[in-house]
């Protein structure tokens, strides 16, 4: 299993300058590599790949123009450019909106990596981080790192530096827990569980909105390129980071709770992107279901459970009591599911969560030993 451990760094002023310098060198290399690819194609109709570019690194470094810590850090930047172009070509091929790779401005480039752990970076005996070209940086080791460290990424978020260690954990997953649950993510509450529990939506974004508006106005008022504007941008970034952290904290707590209690977790396979573009955009992004489900998936995996995504088609319409489809479809405004056939009256989203659980059990059926109801028929209600 691949996991990332993130720790706050406390560089002194000189070290912070060195980190910023390395970050800006990485950004210059990124932009230069991007430009070379673009010019080669526009001017001569040739495409440059990663190896073409990596072969030039020695020459560039010999002229003293590239001051990143070491070769592998430079190669990592070029790999990032390569990845960006691959994704671009894939989108072109798939006929999606392609979006040519961007040149990265200061505010769009906030991390660089040491892709080979031990090469230019290591942790000292007293839990500090030694970085080539920067020195020994104080690090808040708020929890121990487990597993084999593979790479290190230095990241600057709203003026604070973080060390992100990507590690490989090899362990035998524990035996799965006996209970199963279905989860419906909705708009009126953050999530509904098939056992009837409704998890309320904290709506951090909305609460933070007032602070964001003020910070955003401050930025807009200040003159482009001025020091005052830079400061205002920093405050705006801070306001965003605060909301982001609150949301992430909430997701971790809820997903931990679920993963610690259930061996099979069924969720809808949502095309969040599709939803997020529509008129429901704000609350959808606010709830951040995609991020939540990702956290839930790996936690369930860690506890030895199964994470099942099911087709959400009709899960909000079908009655979880008798399996009938209503004659008149429920609209978004109907908050209660009340079935004329079997008399079941239950919250609309809880009804959907129960249907999702039923589908999840039918998908996982053969491997699931709970003895719970495993419907034999199809995996989709449509």
Taking the least distance from each CB to Zn ion, the nearer of 163 and 339 is 339
DSSP state of 326: P
CB 232, CB 219: distance < 8 Å:
yes
Cα(83)–Cα(62) distance, rounded to whole angstroms?
26
Region near Zn ion per CB under 5 A, out of 121-129, 154-162, 189-197, 312-320: 312-320
**Residue in the block written with tokens 């529990």:** 197
Region near Zn ion per CB under 5 A, out of 20-28, 106-114, 131-139, 320-328: 320-328
CB of 283 to Zn ion, least distance (A): 29
Taking the least distance from each CB to Zn ion, the nearer of 336 and 342 is 342
* 346 counts as binding Zn ion under rule CB under 5 A: no
Region near Zn ion per CB under 5 A, out of 106-114, 268-276, 304-312, 339-347: 339-347
DSSP state of 205: H
Taking the least distance from each CB to Zn ion, the nearer of 290 and 321 is 321
CB of 321 to Zn ion, least distance (A): 4
Q: Which of 321, 330, 338, 365 binds Zn ion (CB under 5 A)?
A: 321
CB of 153 to Zn ion, least distance (A): 52
Residue 236: other Cβ atoms inside 10 A: 20
CB 359, CB 380: distance < 8 Å:
yes
SS3 138: strand
CB of 282 to Zn ion, least distance (A): 34
The torsion angle over the Cα atoms of residues 218, 220, 221 and 226, rounded to 10 degrees, is 90
Please give the angle made by the CA atoms of 59, 62 and 65, to the nearest 5 degrees: 95
CB of 330 to Zn ion, least distance (A): 13
Region near Zn ion per CB under 5 A, out of 118-126, 252-260, 296-304, 321-329: 321-329
Q: Which of 322, 345, 373, 380 binds Zn ion (CB under 5 A)?
A: 322
Using CB under 5 A as the binding criterion, the count of chain residues that bind Zn ion stands at 7
* 210 counts as binding Zn ion under rule CB under 5 A: no
Taking the least distance from each CB to Zn ion, the nearer of 131 and 339 is 339
Q: Binding mask 270-309 vs Zn ion (x if CB under 5 A, - otherwise)?
A: ----------------------------------------
CB 205, CB 245: distance < 8 Å:
no
Taking the least distance from each CB to Zn ion, the nearer of 192 and 232 is 192
* 319 counts as binding Zn ion under rule CB under 5 A: yes
Region near Zn ion per CB under 5 A, out of 199-207, 271-279, 338-346, 352-360: 338-346
CB 354, CB 363: distance < 8 Å:
no
The footprint of Zn ion on residues 83-122 (CB under 5 A) is none
Phi, psi of 281 (to 5 degrees): -50, -50
* 342 counts as binding Zn ion under rule CB under 5 A: yes
In the chain, what is the straight-line distance between the N-terminal and C-terminal CA atoms, in Å? 35
Query: What proportions of the chain, in percent to the nearest 5, are helix, strand and coil?
Result: 45, 20, 40
CB of 381 to Zn ion, least distance (A): 13
Assigned token pair, 326: 């209503």
DSSP state of 306: E
CB 175, CB 7: distance < 8 Å:
no
* 73 counts as binding Zn ion under rule CB under 5 A: no
Put residue 145 in one of left, alpha, beta given phi > 0 → left and psi -120 to 50 → alpha.
Answer: beta
Taking the least distance from each CB to Zn ion, the nearer of 303 and 355 is 355
* 325 counts as binding Zn ion under rule CB under 5 A: no
* 341 counts as binding Zn ion under rule CB under 5 A: yes
Taking the least distance from each CB to Zn ion, the nearer of 92 and 342 is 342
Kindly provide the residue ranges of all beta strands, DSSP E only, lying in the chain, ordered along the sequence: 2-10, 111-114, 121-123, 128-131, 135-139, 148-157, 160-168, 180-185, 191-193, 198-199, 264-268, 306-310, 336-338, 345-347
Judged by the rule CB under 5 A, the positions of this chain that interact with Zn ion are: 319, 321-322, 339, 341-342, 344
């Amino acid at each position: 299993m691949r996991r990332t451990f993130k720790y706050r760094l406390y560089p002194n002023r000189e070290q912070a300058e060195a980190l910023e310098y390395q970050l800006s060198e990485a950004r210059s290399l990124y932009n230069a590599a991007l430009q070379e690819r673009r010019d080669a194609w526009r001017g001569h109709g040739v495409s440059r790949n990663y190896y073409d570019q990596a072969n030039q690194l020695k020459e560039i470094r010999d002229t003293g123009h590239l001051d990143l810590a070491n070769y592998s850090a430079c190669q990592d930047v070029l790999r990032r450019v390569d990845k960006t172009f691959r994704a671009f070509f894939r989108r072109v091929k798939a006929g999606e909106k392609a979006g040519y790779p961007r040149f990265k401005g200061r505010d769009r480039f906030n991390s660089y990596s040491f892709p080979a752990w031990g090469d230019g970076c290591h942790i000292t005996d007293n839990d500090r981080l030694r970085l080539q070209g920067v020195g020994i940086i104080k690090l808040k080791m708020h929890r121990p790192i487990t597993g084999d460290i593979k790479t290190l990424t230095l990241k600057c978020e709203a003026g604070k530096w973080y060390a992100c260690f990507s590690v490989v954990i090899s362990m035998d997953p524990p035996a799965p827990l006996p209970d199963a649950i279905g989860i419906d993510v909705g708009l009126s509450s953050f999530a509904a569980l098939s056992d009837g529990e409704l998890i309320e939506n904290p709506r951090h974004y909305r609460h933070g909105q007032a602070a964001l508006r003020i910070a955003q106005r401050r930025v807009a008022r200040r003159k482009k390129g001025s020091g005052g504007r830079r400061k205002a941008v920093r405050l705006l970034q801070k306001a965003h980071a605060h909301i982001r952290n609150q949301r992430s904290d909430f997701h971790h707590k809820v997903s931990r709770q679920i993963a610690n209690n259930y061996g099979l977790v069924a969720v809808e396979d949502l095309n969040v992107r599709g939803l997020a573009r529509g008129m429901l955009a704000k609350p959808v992004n606010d709830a951040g279901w995609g991020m939540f489900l990702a956290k839930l998936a790996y936690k369930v995996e860690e506890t030895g459970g199964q994470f099942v995504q099911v087709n959400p088609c009709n899960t909000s319409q079908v009655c979880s009591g008798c399996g009938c489809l209503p004659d008149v479809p429920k609209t978004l405004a109907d908050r209660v599911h009340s079935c004329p056939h079997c008399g079941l009256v239950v919250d609309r989203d809880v009804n959907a969560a129960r249907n999702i659980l039923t589908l999840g059990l039918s998908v996982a059926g053969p491997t699931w030993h709970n003895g719970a109801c495993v419907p034999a028929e199809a995996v989709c209600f449509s």
